[in-house]
Amino acid sequence: MRIGIFSDVHGNLEALLVVLAGLEAEKVERRACLGDLVGYGPDPGACMDLIRQRADVVLAGNHDHAVLGLTDISLFNPYARTAVLWTRSQLTPAETSYLAGLPVSCSWEGLCLAHSSPCEPAMWHYVFSLEEAETNFHCFREPICFVGHSHSPAFFVQEEPGRVVCRQATRLDIEKGKRYLINVGSVGQPRDGDPRAGYLIYDTDAARIELKRVAYDVAATQAKMARAGLPRFLIERLAVGH
């Protein structure tokens, strides 16, 4: 089976459409969205509706919770806070209640899924270092856990208990006896220096994971953000992927 996994769409409809087209072309049978459907971009409702229709499982992220008033936005930077408040004003009651029903982590198709990390998933911890990854391997039982949240793709491999390494690659062969903690990157606001929309394909028969990047019309999203009055910093960062 081919599974498509994507995260951190952040209301960027142009990026989401190219990712969904990519998943179609890749003939995936199941799709998972790991949260942050909304929260920076100009099309929160349209993105949410599409994700709801096309994904088999959908998680909520910290920006979704911020829009719902479940996370303290005084800890957000001022740009993110402005975008959260704007997004909150755009959603219909039905969209708000859909967001409120989403879990922050789950077990699905024998995989662990979480927006931020498998340890305390509603505390929104980041997994950047080997030490953080090592801690998180204790918080799930499945062989593979997929996360989003940092907007930077990453492969952490537990070669054996107590030995975790980070692999720099776009492809990873899944080996029996090893465990994996994988960040799928971001659809709508990548921060690894590559502005293209990111997603991931897991082919369970081939036991292979592949990170994908696809270009989208960044200028169209930026123009919509400018019309909506969203912060210039958020508009400009889309072009550089930071």
Residues 6+ apart with CB under 8 A from 190: 151, 152, 196, 197, 198, 241
Chain residue whose CB lies nearest Zn ion: 36
**Amino acid code (one letter) for 63:** H
How would you list the strands of the sheet with 163-167, edge to edge? 105-108, 111-114, 144-147, 179-183, 154-160, 163-167
Comparing CB distances to Zn ion, the nearer of 36 and 95 is 36
The least CB distance from residue 9 to Zn ion, in Å, is 9
**Which is nearer to Zn ion, 145 or 164 (by Cβ)?**
145
| CA atoms 116, 117, 119, 121: torsion sign | positive
Nearer to Zn ion by C-beta: 163 or 233?
233
For residue 146 the two structure tokens come to 């997929």
Question: Which position among 13, 32, 36, 124 is part of the footprint of Zn ion (CB under 5 A)?
Answer: 36
Which window, 30-38, 155-163, 202-210, 234-242, contacts Zn ion (CB under 5 A)?
Answer: 30-38
Count other C-beta atoms under 10 Å from residue 29's C-beta.
11
Our CB check for Zn ion shows the closer of 8 and 14 to be 8
- By CB under 5 A, which span of 8-16, 20-28, 173-181, 216-224 interacts with Zn ion? 8-16
Instruction: Enumerate binding residues for Zn ion (CB under 5 A).
Output: 8, 36
